[in-house]
Structure formats: structure tokens, C-alpha cells
Amino acid sequence: MQARQRILDAAQVLFALRGFDATSTKGIAQEAGVPQGLVFYYFANKEKILEDLVRERSFLPEMEQILRAAPEVRAKEALHELGRRFLAVVTRREAIARILVRESPNHPQVAERWRQMRESAIGIIGSYLEGAVERGHLHASRPETIARIFLYNLIFAALIDETLDAEQYLNNVVETMLEGITDSP
């Protein structure tokens, strides 16, 4: 494996585990099994490691591919499938997702990447929902808001509450979104 990739792998593990500020370049070099000078050969500083890490290991392309392949079925089935696929991506890429969430408040380039990822996913989910409305599978007056609620709930389930049964939570979110929360007449 190339030294640069080993450095990024080590940084990913340490940033996700300890956070950016608590991780030193010396620690990254040790974790990667490379001399510390080699870290600076590939990266000008620790911020550049973070920047390259979130840019190169973004799961946005994978998310976009999943969301664009939304099945042309009823909204309930489609949202369940999108939710399952999204949770699988975040689970596989959990370290990067944790880095994005943790480091966004202090690193503008990370915050911007995280914002781009969220807004792209929301746009794609919103477009799907608009299409479901047009096909008569759904009646929704605010597809973008519904997409945002859906996505944010999935992020919560995947990253914040490890005690949740993600599949059951997804079912509950979809049911609540589709049935609403008002009393029936």
C-alpha cells in the first residue's frame, strides 16, 4: 500500500476516534508506520490531511448513485429502500461520517463538504418525492422539508444513537412521515 494512503487511513482512524485537535502528526505517522517526515512530504500540514481525507473519501458519489436509483414504486417502499441503502453507506463509511459531523464546527472546508453532501442528498430525495406526488403515489406539499426530515433522522440513527434498532427506526420514521401526526377524523 502506498505511504500516502496509509497516512490517510491512519488519519481517518485517529480523527474518527480522537478528533482532529487531539491527533498529532506524530501519532498519524506512528499509526501509518511511516517516518513523521513522510507525512509532511505528502501533506503541508495536518489541516491538509483533513481536507484531502474528506474530499477523497467522501461518500457523496455513492449516496447520489443510490438516491438516483430510487425505485419507481410506491413511496413507502421507495423510502424504505432508500433509507436502508443510505444507512448501509453511512455504516460502511462511519469513520468519515463521524469526522464530518465532529469537525464541521471548527473547519470550514469540512463544514462545506458536509453541507454539500447533505444538500445534494436532500435535493435528490426531494426530487424523488416530487415525482411520487406527480405519479399520484404521495401527496406532499413540502417535499424538500420532508426530504430534510427523512435524511436528518437517518443521520441521527446511523451516527448518534447506537442503541437504536436502525431497521425498526427506519420503519417508524417512514410510517410517521407517510401517515402524519394529526388525529384522524
In the chain, the N- to C-terminal Cα span, in Å, equals 64
- pLDDT higher than 80, residue 181: no
Q: Are residues 66 and 155 in the same domain?
A: yes
Quick one: average pLDDT of 85-103?
85
Domain annotation covers residue 25 = yes
Q: Compute the mean pLDDT over every residue in the chain, rounded to the nearest whole number.
A: 85
Element (H, E) at 81: helix 75-92
Q: Indicate which CATH number applies to the domain containing 129.
A: 1.10.357.10
Let me know if residue 184 belongs to a domain: no
- Is pTM beyond 0.85 here? no
Say whether both 18 and 105 belong to one domain: no
- Whether residue 129 sits in one domain with residue 102: yes
Q: Are residues 35 and 102 in the same domain?
A: no
Residue 185 lies in a domain: no
Percent of the chain at pLDDT > 70 equals: 91
Query: Structurally, how many domains does the chain consist of?
Result: 2
Task: Report pLDDT digits (tens) over 112-168.
Answer: 988 988 898 888 888 888 887 887 777 767 888 888 988 888 887 777 777 778 888
28 and 87 assigned to the same domain: no
- For residues 84 and 122, membership in a common domain is answered with yes
CB–CB of 124/67 below 8 Å?
A: yes
Residue 5 has a pLDDT of: 96
What was the pLDDT predicted at 71?
57
Residue 39 has pLDDT above 80, yes or no: yes
Same domain, 97 and 116: yes
9 & 65 share domain? no
Q: 89 and 162, same structural domain?
A: yes
CATH number at residue 14: 1.10.10.60
- pLDDT for the residue 7: 97
Name the residue range of residue 44's domain: 3-53
| 113 and 99 Cβ atoms separated by less than 8 Å | no
Distance CA 36, CA 44 (A): 12
pLDDT above 70 (res 73): no
